[in-house]
Structure 1
Amino acid sequence: MRVNLLGPVELVSADGGAVRLGAAKRRAVLAALALELNRVVSGDRLLSLVWDGSPPPQAKAALQGHIAQLRKVLADGVALITRAPGYVLTGDRDAVDVFRFEDLVATARDAADEVAVGLLTGALALWRGPVLADVPGAEVREAVTAKLDELRLVAVQELATRLFRLDRAAEAVSGLRDAVAEHPLREPLVARLVLALHWTGRQAEALELFHHTRGELAEELGVDPGPELRDAYQTVLAGDTAPKPVERGPVPAQLPREHRGFVGREPELCDLAESLGGDSAIGLLVGPAGVGKTALALRWAHRVAAEFPDGQLFVNLRGFDETEPLDPRTALVGFLRALGLADSQIAGDLEAQAAQYRSLLAGRRVLVLLDNARSAEQVRPLLPGSAGCLVLVTSRHRLDDLVVTEGASALHVQTLPEESAESLLAAVLGRHRIDQEPEAVAELAELCDRLPLALRIAGARLASRPRWTIQSLVDELRDEQHRLSALELPEAGRGVHAALAVSYRELPEGAARLLRRLGLHPGTDLDSYTAAALLDINVVSARTHLRTLAYANLLHESTPDRYSRHDLVRLFTHHLAAGESEVDTAESTSRLLDYYLHVADSGRAHLSDHVRPFGPREHRPASFPELSSHAAALDWFTLEEANLGLALDIALNSGQRERTWQLALCLDAFHFRRGNRLDRLALCRIGSAAAHDLGDAHAEATFLLRLGSTLAELGRIEEAIQTCTRAAELAGDDRHLGVAALANLGYCLMADDQLDRAQATILEALEIAREVGDERSQASVQNNLANVLLRKHQPEEALRYAAEALTLFTAVAPSKAHTATLHTVGTASLQLGRLDEALESYRAGLALAERLGDRYQEALCHREIGDVLEKTEGLDAAVPHWLAALQLYRDLRLADADDVARKLDPNVVTT
């Protein structure tokens, strides 16, 4: 089965019969998918193409209907498959006439004349009219028409050239005449038609055509005929009767020499070779300032230069210089001169110059390297129309427009890997000097962000100071306040700061303001909500600014809607922030802290059992993520853990005591859920100290009871008892807080083997919990009591209290205390010899712990399950659970890992 697009859209069965397609939109769907054969077209993109960028509300359902109908008629090796995020039409390239045409033209390029004539004639015979002649959507047609029409004209020109060589000029006249009628100012076509008419004895027509075209060129473009058309005219005047190969004109060789000391980049070079192997290719190298885009482009261009016998063109578009970017008119004039035009022959306006440029490159194989492009608009007039030409563009901007409208292949150039960064320094300093200080070299590379520009400057400074050690420069660069200035070449006005400053100055005001505010953010990454808080704007506007910064490669989107920055960019933003007023800086910092507090407090409600929300903040964020479940809260805290810790440092160091204890409490809720005792210990000390200084007894008691239980878990029992006793005293009339303080005190007394005192204390807490009607607290306290009874070897009584607690927990949201109670029930069952019941409870506890993200309880349940399975099924069944427990204990940095490791064969335990 074949799909024909070079004319009206057709679907042809294997026996040659036409398959009825029906609706015009269905033909557009088939065409859009066929043009992307074997590549996924997203549903959104398909809707835009078929409905010309404005799909109505019912378009999605209509599209699904067209897809279903197409699937019914496709067969014989052509299939339509659903594949995220859209659909893909699969089949051989021969199944679509567009690709058969392209392949025939490409094969003819290197074939002998006789063979090439057959291939090109077959290729042109595939055309039955304008591309996608009956497809209603202009967006589908516009995406491919220009490229295919250009390739058809190149094929007509090449066919004429081959026929001339075979002394068969008469066969070229008809195709050339039709092409010239459509494109009367395309000089290579006109030149060939002049020659074809001359060599078939129609000199008068040939001369008339020349003079008519000369008049049109003068009137429309204000130029004289180019060298190729003039040569054809002279051939007619001279009466030459022997066909000669058409002259190709000058062969420019404008590539600058490669950068000395170029290292690495083999993966990128391989990617370029793979992505730029086809016809009409446009490659795009994008990346931050100083990452080595130009050096990489030149290395690749020199490697492939021999594949472009008609020359190489190069221009620095100066998109990011201190001066204005190069006008594309200036670049075009330079190219036209290099291709043989005198100044008097060059048109005056941009559009006419671009037409001349495309005409001169038609049918030729030329490599065009456009360095430092600022925008797609600057690049587009410099794109050849010829299928044999290849363009490579470098830019700090992503130039997504070239990807969308011109089909460019984008390669994002990253900083150097460690080994290549070291090799670059060795190329500047010599291997002997590098080998003397390997640790300093590794640190120097990281301080330079492994950015080639920074590494070369650092290397140059060391090379000019042979008595310096590498460590001495490392010591200088460790000072973040002066690192950027140390990576400058003042006499040349070049360096990392200067390069970043140019990118910053070109930003629109909103994005520039955000970049300045990012200097106040302490972390390395952030999301759009955080950016919105810094600027006090909504998240939609913040996303626009972030995308602008990512487009300029000042940030990069590490995950969807989350942006990170290299360390040198971070230091540059600090420099920008230092220039802001103290009032603006203080207000933005307060908004940032209040944003984190607002979201963290909403997440704390899902992670803690008893949450009293904080009061209203000074700055309520305009936009913030809604954390509607414990899983969402855990995910957010996991992503923001480092940023929250840094925000806590800001609040602590600036004396903002209320924000300090509140941030500490939120982080403690997260670490409690994760079972991270050491971090909890530090947080509780920070929070209790801030609350004490503030005179907030309730907040201080809240932290002290958490601190006490954490100390007990770490084996510091005497300190834990004192802490929980103080928490109970501070709780005062707050009966909910009093219950928690007494329950924690009882837990600590149990850990100290003061079992009778522990039982009495917990019973007191249980009585208060029952009086206030707090079922969650009652269940938690009963679980504590059950554990004391287990320690007193009263499993029946312990099981009764724990089972009652489970019943109470079923009426409230799942919690860590619920998981702990399932473990208690399992332990009581185990002591009673009910192994199956114990295993069932431990497994239920494990499932709930995994659901809640409670890694400590996960470890505990895995360990207990392994112990039971060892008794019931043998060692092999137990080992996987012990290994899981071991890894979790190690992640949590708990000594319990050693106990589990002793259960396992040393050959199985990994370090």
Structure 2
Amino acid sequence: MEFEVLGSVRLREAVPTGRLRRTLLGVLLANANRVVPSSVLTDAMWGDQRDDRVVRNLHTHVHRLRGVLGEPGRLRSEPEGYLLTVLPGELDAERFEALIEDGIRTSAHDPGRGAELIRKGLAIWRGAPFGGLDVPVLHDEARRLGEQRLLATEELYTAELAAGRHTAVITELTELVARYPLRERLHGLLMTALYRGGQQAGALAAYRTARAVLVEELGQEPGPELRQLERRILTGEPIETARVVAVPAQLPHDVRGFVGREDQLAELDELEPGEIVAVVGEGGVGKTALAVRWAHRARERFPDGQLYVDLRGYGPEEPVPPGDVLAAFLRELGLDNAAIPDDVSERAARLRSLVDGRRLLIVLDNARTVEQVRPLLPGGSSCAVLVTSRDALAGLVAREGAHRIRLGHLSHDEAVALLRELVGPRIEEVVPALTECCARLPLALRLAAETINARPGWDLDDLLTELTTAPLDVLDAGGDEETGLRAVFSWSYRCLPPEARRLFRVFGLRRSREVELHALAGAGYRATRSLFDALLRAHLVEEVAPGRYRLHELLFAYAKDLVEATDERAAPGRLIDRHPTAEVLPLARTAAIRRREKTRTRARLA
């Protein structure tokens, strides 16, 4: 059995009839050998329709697709959705990638044979991936495959030049440069082919054309490799085959249902090569979503690639050591394992050398500390760095001059738009109340939307009641430690010093979500203020006025949850009594001190 997605979606043996069935097969093939949730399939096939007919129609189309497959057991029903089994070599995209990888590897010692293998892989293409299917869930995979094809094309002509076929490929390279004018590597290959074919003037003209396009379209001069190539042509130096440069494309999947953040996206658009931007905010506020959305939008500005890493600064796993990240980046940039130094500082220096002069975007997601970030920073002015963290990263701003963007909760209109995008018209009657129950926190809104979509029979008023009384239980994502709101809050809380944790739990003893510094400070004003500063840096509290602090509804529920979990409600003094210098006083003790002071004052006046 052979499946094809490089062009229109089809089986070699039969072509599924109808757009819906081709969409079903396309999404299953894009996720071959993985369970695809039913909700993903229905979204792809029918968009925002949410009724029982959609589920019945999905079952019908799955049944008919099984008939087309000829082997019904290949398409299995699972509790969460459907799984299509695809054996090795049956999917054309897999064969394409295997041939390209084999061709590139072979080119190192036999460029002629390597070029043949790469051409064989490129010949598999019949058209645009998943051709004719305008389905959002397939866009990223289609884009990834398209980028792989371009990279394979560049590798092909690198091998052809290494095999001495410079004159034979000039026409093909000229057509490719016209079709992809922003690919600097293609311009370099054309210049090399012309120069080695005895056309020095033509090679210099090709450079002027490349420069004009890059300046006009991107507002940037050509990169250092293209400029160096021009200098060597001007001086008549011999030019070997253009160096193979790995172009990473590591950005994760763009989030569905992204709304708002126009001001922050515009601020990121001002990011220039050589700059560092830190997007900071509390857990669940959408820092990663913003960073990934902008990075995808700005890909053309970084033609030498995009590096991405989740530093796991906050989560169930241990943070990723900088040395491990550096090793992964070096491998992605083409360095063999044997060439990667053991020492972290040497790895950092090697990274700076490799990226110098290249227009790269480096996304360092979910950082815990500045120390985790610093070794990963490039040294030159050609790369841009985008960092996300729950910490304010004050050291990165002060020492490295990073530009900080504080990400807050969505506006009311943005929260409403997100719910409408994720749930549809059914939500209209409870939208205003639901946005406030979720504190307009993007993660909470998404979890609420998933709860509604997963339980279509629920009465929405009942959901609102549960969100009001036990929000963290409703928004737990089925106990998912990566996503549940209680777990997400806990990662920030656990990173606090013990004294700051105790101060955070004090909020759980109060009826109001606000507290004033002087109400808790007693004689230890400075020490207590420093603890509040720790909460501010972790984005676990908001300073609404000087010395006045507030939690939003969901963090307030979490503070109460912590007090109940540790049985501190029964003995609130324990929150403070363990503090070594008793700098944070319980409210009752503070009030008693004030009463004694007032009594003494009256006595002196009398």
Q: Scaled by the length of structure 1, what TM-score is found?
A: 0.39
Q: Which residue of 1 aligns with 2:86?
A: none
Structure with greater contact order relative to length (CA < 8 Å, sep ≥ 6): 2
* Residue aligning to 2:543: 557
Q: 2:446 aligns with which of 456, 460, 472?
A: 456
* Mapped partners of 2:269, 2:427: distance in 1: 32
SS in 1 for 2:531: helix
Given the alignment, which residue of 412, 417, 424 partners 1:418?
412
Report deviation, 1:600. 9.3
C-alpha separation in 2, matches of 1:564 and 1:337: 46
Q: How does 1:96-107 map to 2 (within 5 A)?
A: none
Q: Name the CA distance, whole Å, in 1 between partners of 2:210 and 2:231.
A: 9
CA distance in 2, matches of 1:409, 1:246: 37
Q: Does 1:515 align with 2:504?
A: yes
Give 1:475's match in structure 2, choosing from 465, 471, 486.
465
Q: How does 1:131-530 map to 2 (within 5 A)?
A: 160-167=228-235, 199=237, 242-243=238-239, 247=243, 249-274=245-270, 276=271, 278-430=272-424, 432-435=425-428, 437=429, 440-479=430-469, 482-493=470-481, 494-530=483-519
Give the whole-Å Cα distance in 2 for the aligned partners of 1:530 and 1:401.
31
Evaluate the alpha carbon distance shift between residue 600 and residue 454 of structure 1 in structure 2; reply closer, same or farther with a 3 A threshold. farther
Native 8 Å contact 1:283 1:392 kept in 2: yes
3-state SS in 1 of match to 2:572: helix
**CA–CA separation in structure 1 for the residues paired with 2:544 and 2:264:** 19
Give yes or no for contact 2:444–2:475 (8 Å, CA) kept in 1.
yes
What code does the residue aligned with 1:163 have? R
Conserved? CA contact 1:164–1:245, under 8 Å: no
Q: Distance in 2 between matches of 1:451 and 1:251?
A: 36
Q: Please tell me whether the aligned partners of residues 516 and 574 of structure 1 are also in contact (alpha carbons under 8 angstroms).
A: yes
Q: Aligned partner of 2:323: which letter?
A: R
Cα distance in 2 between the residues matched to 1:555 and 1:245: 58
Offset of 1:402 from its aligned partner?
Answer: 0.6
Query: Which amino acid in structure 2 is aligned with residue 390 of structure 1?
Result: A
Report Cα offsets for 1:663-694 as digits up to 9, x if no partner: xxxxxxxxxxxxxxxxxxxxxxxxxxxxxxxx
Scaled by the length of structure 2, what TM-score is found? 0.58
Alignment-mate amino acid for residue 427 of structure 2: I
Residue in structure 1 matched with residue 151 of structure 2 by the alignment: none
Deviation at 1:250, TM superposition (A): 0.6
1:582–1:570 Cα change, 3 Å: closer
State how 1:102-117 maps to structure 2 within 5 Å: none
- Kindly indicate whether the alpha-carbon contact (under 8 Å) linking 1:311 and 1:367 is maintained by their aligned counterparts in 2: yes
Aligned counterparts of 1:270 and 1:406: Cα–Cα separation in 2 = 22
Superposition map of 1:572-587 within 5 A: 572-578=558-564, 579-581=566-568, 584-586=571-573
In 1, are the aligned partners of 2:508 and 2:562 still within 8 Å (CA)? Answer: yes
- The secondary structure found in structure 2 opposite 1:585 is coil
Quick one: distance in 2 between partners of 1:588 and 1:506? 18
- Note closer, same or farther for the CA distance 1:484–1:507 as it changes in structure 2 (3 Å cut): same
Distance 1:587 1:581 in 2: 7
- 5+ residue gaps, structure 1, are 1-110, 118-153, 169-198, 200-241, 603-612, 618-773, 775-911
Note the alpha carbon deviations across 1:400-432, whole angstroms, 9 max, x for none. Answer: 1110111111111111111111121122211x2
Code of the aligned partner of 1:543: R
Aligned to 1:268, what secondary structure does the other structure show? Answer: helix
SS where residue 474 of structure 1 aligns? helix
- Alpha-carbon spacing, 1:414–1:601, altered in 2? closer, same or farther (3 Å): farther
1:697-752 CA distance string (max 9 Å, x none)? xxxxxxxxxxxxxxxxxxxxxxxxxxxxxxxxxxxxxxxxxxxxxxxxxxxxxxxx
Residue identity in the other structure for 1:329: G
CA contact (8 A) 1:114 1:166 kept: no
Structure 2 spans left out of the alignment, 5+ residues: 1-204, 212-221, 577-584
1:334-354 residue CA offsets vs partner (Å, 9 max, x unmatched) = 111110001011111110001
What's the CA shift for 1:584?
4.2
| Displacement of 1:382 | 0.9
The equivalent residue for 2:521 is: 532
Query: 1:345 and 1:395 mapped to 2: Cα distance?
Result: 31
Per-residue deviation, 1:450? 0.7
1:53-99 CA-to-partner distances (Å, cap 9, x unmatched) read xxxxxxxxxxxxxxxxxxxxxxxxxxxxxxxxxxxxxxxxxxxxxxx
Question: Is this contact kept in 2: 1:165–1:245, CA < 8 A?
Answer: no
In the superposition, relative to structure 1, how do residues 525 and 425 fare at CA in structure 2: closer, same or farther (>3 Å)? same
Q: Which residue of 1 aligns with 2:171?
A: none
Task: Please state whether the residue corresponding to 1:261 is helix, strand or coil.
Answer: coil
Q: Deviations 1:311-332 (Å, cap 9, x if unpaired)? A: 0011100001112101111111
Separation in structure 2 between the aligned mates of residue 522 and residue 346 of structure 1, nearest angstrom: 57
**Alpha carbons 2:508, 2:561 under 8 Å: kept:** yes
Count matched residues.
Answer: 380
Contact 1:514 1:531 in 2 (8 A): no
1:164 Cα deviation after fit: 2.1
**Root mean square deviation of aligned Cα:** 3.2
> Is the Cα–Cα contact under 8 Å of residues 421 and 452 in structure 1 kept in the other structure?
yes
Give the corresponding residue for 1:697.
none
Which residue matches 2:131?
none
Q: Is the 8 A contact 1:550 1:556 kept in 2?
A: yes
Assess if the C-alpha contact under 8 Å between 1:293 and 1:413 holds in 2: yes
